[in-house]
């Protein structure tokens, strides 16, 4: 037996890395790519505050930093989860197969074009391994959702960051110009996080058709349900035409499964096989979560309800932001981004001191706050804190 330890081969074969079981994956994978200038924090810190941050601070009264859906899951999903408990001593092979088939039918693809994951996070990480280990460059907007880009950089890929347009949308024209032989993947988050903006559907389809003939295009549609739905706004139909696109969806947002961890990708069969090498192939999805997802996936009435409640929360937030003199970027998601008149970290700390969790960014020579939508009573807590800030 060869006792030599080949780190690269181990990384390629290890599905543990793709599940996110180790928060310190970048340290295991190798030195972080210095060209990717992003904060050094653990993967889950995009969603969670650390114990260190919360020490000596009051408990959170309004958790508005993680884009969680406070209006769900649906009653049908809850009942399905309860019903699944009695059989949860068994591995959920049947539920995985049923859910995969449902997705394939709704998306108009074959089951071998679907891969499940514990949220879309696992699948983003699997893709980051496959394309990151190729080296080259990952093209994406700046700012945009960074999970795939950050992890790819940890494995050797460079980030080719493309600034947003003047209306804070992804610049498809410039991104297309950047595609070269050295490009490994083009990553599109639509609607975009943290700006909340979405792209014209036909323009994005044209972009995907053109670019995917040269390099694969990964479209992250985590918030697509808030932007008009997958049938009207999604890029999944391109797969039926044979284009090399990868579509990621999560149940963490509109379906309110952030703690239940369900997501999926659809792509060409050969692409799915490549991504599977770095994932658990749905093996980390629990029986209870799968059964809940099957129910939620078919609950159209709940989806209408939760999207409407999110819209109501946005209108309320737009109202008090406007009343207080804040500009904001109109959002197609479950959060709103708006510029703030102080340094972002100072603003974040002031909110934490009042028991409010938000996220901050700095770009375009401006500091920004991203506030997640929630029930109105929680947004009122944030509103009150904003009104107390010095002008």
**pLDDT single digits (tens) 372-390:** 999 999 999 999 999 998 7
pLDDT value, residue 58: 72
pLDDT above 60: residue 37: no
**What pLDDT shows up at residue 282?**
84
Other CB atoms within 10 Å distance of the CB of residue 162: 21
pLDDT in the model for residue 20: 37
Question: Phi then psi for 249, rounded to 5 degrees?
Answer: -130, 150
Picking from 230, 145, 225, the residue whose alpha carbon sits closest to that of residue 188 is 145
Which pLDDT belongs to residue 50? 57
| Residue 42 in this model has a pLDDT that exceeds 90 | no
- The residue length of the chain stands at 391
What pLDDT band is residue 55 in, cutting at 50, 70 and 90? low
Fold of 48-71+301-388: 3.90.1150
Beta-carbon contacts of 305 under 8 Å, excluding residues fewer than 6 positions away, are 71, 74
Is residue 257 predicted with pLDDT exceeding 90? yes
Cα dihedral sign, 299-301-303-309: negative
- 3 state SS for 150-196: HHHHHCCCEEEEEECCCCCCCCHHHHHHHCCCCEEEEEEECCCCCCC
CA distances, 212 to each of 149, 187, 242, 249 (Å): 18, 11, 10, 19
75-298 in CATH: which number? 3.40.640.10
Query: Taking the CA atoms of the chain, what radius of gyration do you get in angstroms?
Result: 21
- Interval 135-162: pLDDT, tens: 999 999 999 999 999 989 888 899 999 9
Which uninterrupted H or E stretch holds 230? helix 230-233
Backbone angles phi, psi at 282, to 5 degrees: 85, 5
Terminal Cα-to-Cα distance of the chain (whole angstroms): 70
Q: State the pLDDT confidence band at 8, using cuts at 50, 70 and 90.
A: very low
Q: How far apart are CA 184 and CA 148, in angstroms?
A: 12
Contact 275, 130 (CB under 8 A): yes
Tokens of 381: 């807590």
More confident residue, 18 or 172: 172
Per-domain residue ranges for the chain?
48-71+301-388, 75-298
């Amino acid at each position: 037996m060869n006792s030599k330890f080949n780190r690269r081969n181990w990384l390629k074969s290890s599905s543990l890395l793709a599940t996110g079981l180790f928060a310190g994956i970048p340290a295991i994978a190798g030195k972080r790519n210095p060209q990717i200038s992003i904060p050094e924090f653990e993967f889950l810190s995009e969603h969670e505050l650390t114990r260190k941050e919360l020490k000596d601070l009051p408990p959170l009264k309004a958790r508005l930093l993680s884009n969680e859906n406070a209006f769900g899951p649906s009653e049908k999903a809850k009942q399905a989860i309860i019903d699944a408990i009695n059989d949860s001593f068994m591995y959920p092979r049947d539920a995985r197969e049923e859910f995969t088939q449902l997705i394939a039918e709704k998306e108009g693809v074959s089951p071998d074009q679907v891969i499940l994951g514990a949220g879309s996070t696992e699948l983003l990480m699997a893709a980051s391994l496959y394309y990151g280990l190729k080296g080259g460059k990952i093209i994406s907007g700046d700012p945009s959702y960074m999970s795939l880009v950050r992890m790819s950089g940890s494995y050797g890929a460079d980030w080719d960051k493309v600034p947003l347009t003047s209306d804070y949308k992804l610049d498809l024209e410039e991104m297309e110009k950047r595609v070269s032989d050295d490009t490994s993947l083009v990553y599109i988050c639509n609607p975009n996080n943290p700006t909340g903006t979405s792209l014209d559907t036909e323009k994005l389809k044209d972009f995907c058709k053109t670019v995917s003939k040269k390099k694969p295009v990964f479209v992250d549609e985590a918030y697509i349900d808030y932007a008009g739905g997958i049938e009207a706004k999604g890029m999944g139909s391109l797969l039926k035409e044979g284009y090399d696109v990868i579509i990621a969806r999560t149940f963490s947002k509109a379906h309110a499964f952030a703690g239940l961890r369900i997501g999926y990708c659809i792509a060409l069969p050969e692409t799915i096989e490549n991504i599977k090498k770095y994932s658990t192939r749905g093996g980390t999805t629990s029986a209870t979560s799968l059964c809940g997802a099957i129910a939620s996936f078919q609950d159209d009435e709940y989806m209408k309800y939760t999207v409407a409640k999110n819209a109501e929360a946005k209108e309320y937030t737009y109202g008090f932001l406007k009343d207080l003199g804040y500009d904001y970027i109109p959002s197609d998601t479950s959060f709103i981004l708006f510029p703030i008149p102080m340094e972002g970290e100072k603003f974040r700390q002031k909110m934490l001191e009042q028991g409010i969790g938000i996220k901050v960014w700095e770009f375009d020579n401006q500091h920004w706050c991203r506030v997640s939508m929630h029930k109105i009573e929680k947004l009122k807590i944030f509103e009150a804190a904003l009104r107390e800030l010095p002008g």
